[in-house]
Amino acid sequence: MTGGSWKESTPHARLARAAIEEWVRRGRKIDPSELGKEVSGIRGRAGAFVSLKKKGELRGCIGTFMPVRESLAQEIVENAISAATRDPRFPPVREDELEDLDISVDVLSEPEPVPDESYLDPKVYGVIVKRGSRVGLLLPDLEGVDTVEEQLRIAKAKAGIYPDEPVEIYRFTVERHH
């Protein structure tokens, strides 16, 4: 594992990098406790998304909007490995790409239902749209997503929901860690 030459400045993002590097190099899932005090500030349970960028371009993004694991640290480890190896839009990250990755972790607040679009702001809130079993999510404050309409259109498309279909709408905030 890397030790001390972290590109990332927060424990959340450092844990994600350590998980990705260990998995890609050795095929081994780390236990967050292996990093000791490095990740001691990561507490509680929450949904989390891990995003990977390479030279400013998306290279992987996987997450959970509600916690599904025992701890936030475990959520980050699992989602980091998934973002690097199981995002269907990209091939798995190779070892020679590790140094070029910029990694961020978004820790999500609990989603809250909203009665209509007037409660949304794409710079402040992420959005979840739901119709039956189809669910689409878009994180807040994404480059190129400047309007509520665009945010909802993208979230619906991700879920396979037609633009004119009515949906349940939820919003959430994130704590972004780089």
Q: What is the pLDDT of residues 108-162, one digit of tens each?
A: 999 999 999 999 999 999 999 999 999 999 999 999 999 999 999 999 999 999 9
Q: What is the DSSP string of 43-54?
A: -S---EEEEEEE
d(CA 68, CA 47): 7
How does pLDDT run across 34-48, given as a tens digit for each residue?
988 888 789 999 999
- Does 3.30.360.10 match the CATH number of domain 11-108? no
Could you state, in order of their start, the residue ranges of all structural domains in the chain?
11-108, 112-177
Q: What is the pLDDT of residue 9?
A: 87
Q: So what's the pLDDT on residue 95?
A: 97
- The yes-or-no verdict on residue 7 having pLDDT over 80 is no
Q: What is the CATH number of domain 112-177?
A: 3.30.1490.150
Q: Which pLDDT does position 40 carry in this prediction?
A: 79
pTM comes to 0.92
Residue 1 has pLDDT above 50, yes or no: no
Residues with Cβ within 8 Å of 79's Cβ and at least 6 positions away in sequence, in order, are 16, 48, 49, 50, 62, 63, 64
Q: Which residues pair with 107 in a beta bridge?
A: 48, 175
Q: What DSSP designation does 99 have? A: G
